[in-house]
């Protein structure tokens, strides 16, 4: 898919499937295939294989390639497939090339391994990926990569196939500055979580990345629809009833943003499996809380 074509398809919900593991922590590709096939029965604009929810940094290059290939096969063109890449210059380029060869429509560029990189070093990291593949690129501003408006403008100048920014800081003040500076040079994505939909959509964003889509794609789409219509009363009810209680559980421990989602999936009968270290498993006493919350989710499943 040409970068401009991919950009034209971005609008609504981008889903982040988990990476399924067996009890021995080996890859469960069949479980992953089932989840992607079920998710893409809904009108999601894209799915991200090997993203943050997909435990990118725990994967081997071979596993990464298998996940992208499986996502492409199961999405069957109904949703675009974006592959997450990270680590460092050599490995990120190799993963990007491998993903495009497997059929990925775009590349989501995670921060590199070095948390104190100067912007010039980051620029070279992103450019190496962009020069290696001809598909659309997404830059992911999260963790130690917190880009300013002038830095995003520089990326636009230097990367001709950069089409979108996924904001993962939750800093709406800075995001507004970036959007004002760069205008329509990029597609703007709300990328820190379903709980930020009201804020993102209030500043004009109309695409967001959803973790909730792994358990309730209908709810993810409803959040997008209500927020797009500025139906604040309906949006507030969805947030209060479903989103905020789930995100409160996810916030209890670092890594729970994946662990809680996998446990919720299993409670709902979806394949998920354990998380890989260093992510922690949910505590046994918290499973009952997740079960009760999933009972509340029944109307939106």
Domain spans of the chain, in order of start: 3-230
In angstroms, the Cα distances linking 291 to 49, 245, 247, 265, 269 are 27, 12, 15, 10, 12
Distance CA 182, CA 169 (A): 18
- C-alpha dihedral over 159, 164, 166, 167, to 10 degrees? 80
Q: Is the pLDDT reported for residue 77 higher than 90? A: yes
Q: Is 262 a catalytic residue?
A: no
Q: Is the pLDDT of residue 182 over 90?
A: yes
pLDDT at residue 192 is higher than 90? yes
Distance set, CA 34 to CA 29, 70, 118, 176 (Å): 9, 10, 41, 38
Query: Residues with Cβ < 8 Å from 207, sequence gap 6 or more?
Result: 10, 11, 12, 13, 14, 45, 187, 188, 189, 190
Condensed to tens digits (0 to 9), the pLDDT of residues 201-259 reads 999 999 999 999 999 999 999 999 999 999 999 999 999 999 999 999 999 999 999 99
Instruction: Say if domain 3-230 classifies as CATH 3.20.20.70.
Output: yes
Give the separation between CA 44 and CA 46, rounded to whole angstroms: 5
Whether 279 has a pLDDT exceeding 90, the answer reads: yes
Question: Which residue matches tokens 């009760």?
Answer: 292
Nearest to 82 by CA among 45, 55, 49: 49
- Tokens matching residue 48: 């991200």
Which residue in 42, 113, 114, 166 is the catalytic one?
Answer: 166
Confidence band, pLDDT 50/70/90 cuts, at residue 71 = very high
Give the total residue count for the chain: 301
State yes or no: pLDDT of 271 exceeds 90. yes
Rounded to whole angstroms, the Cα distance separating 257 from 232 reads: 26
From residue 87, how far is each of 21, 57, 60, 149, 151 by CA, in Å?
Answer: 21, 7, 11, 24, 21
Region 19-46 average pLDDT: 98
Mean pLDDT rounded to a whole number for the chain: 97
- 20 Cβ contact list (under 8 Å, min separation 6): 27, 28, 29, 30, 31, 32, 35, 271, 272, 273
Mind listing the pLDDT tens digit for each residue in 120-165? 999 999 999 999 999 999 999 999 999 999 999 999 999 999 999 9
Q: What mean pLDDT do residues 15-29 have?
A: 98
Q: Is 140 a catalytic residue?
A: yes
Q: pLDDT band at 116, cuts 50/70/90?
A: confident
Catalytic residue among 140, 201, 208, 256: 140
* 147 closest CA partner among 156, 137, 134, 136: 156
- Can you tell me the distance from the alpha carbon of 132 to that of 93, in angstroms, rounded to the nearest whole number? 6
Per the structure block, which two tokens stand in for 12?
């609504």
Does the pLDDT of residue 89 top 90, yes or no? Answer: no
């Amino acid at each position: 898919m040409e970068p401009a074509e991919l950009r034209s398809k971005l609008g609504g919900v981008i889903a982040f499937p988990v990476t399924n593991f067996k009890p021995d922590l080996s890859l469960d590709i069949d479980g992953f295939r089932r989840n992607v096939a079920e998710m893409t029965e809904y009108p999601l604009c894209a799915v991200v294989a090997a993203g943050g929810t997909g435990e990118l940094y725990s994967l081997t290059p071979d596993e990464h390639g298998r996940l992208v290939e499986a996502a492409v096969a199961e999405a069957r063109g109904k949703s675009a497939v974006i592959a997450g890449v990270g680590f460092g210059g050599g490995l990120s380029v190799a993963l990007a090339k491998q993903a495009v060869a497997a059929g990925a429509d775009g590349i989501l560029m995670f921060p590199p391994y070095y948390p104190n990189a100067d912007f010039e070093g980051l620029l070279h990291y992103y450019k190496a990926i962009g020069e290696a593949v001809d598909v659309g690129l997404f830059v992911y501003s999260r963790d130690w990569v917190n880009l300013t408006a002038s830095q995003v403008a520089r990326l636009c100048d230097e990367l001709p196939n950069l089409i979108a920014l996924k904001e993962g800081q939750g800093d709406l003040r800075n995001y507004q500055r970036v959007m004002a500076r760069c205008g329509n040079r990029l597609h703007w994505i709300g990328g820190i979580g379903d709980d930020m939909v009201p804020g993102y959509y209030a500043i004009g964003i109309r695409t967001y990345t959803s973790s909730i889509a792994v358990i309730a794609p209908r709810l993810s789409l409803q959040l997008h629809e209500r927020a797009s219509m500025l139906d604040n009363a309906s949006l507030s009810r969805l947030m209060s009833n479903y989103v905020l209680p789930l995100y409160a559980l996810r916030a209890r421990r670092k890594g729970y943003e994946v662990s809680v989602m996998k446990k919720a999936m299993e409670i709902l009968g979806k394949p998920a499996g354990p998380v890989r270290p260093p992510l922690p498993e949910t505590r046994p006493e918290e499973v009952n809380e997740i079960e009760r919350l999933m009972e509340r989710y029944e109307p939106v499943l």
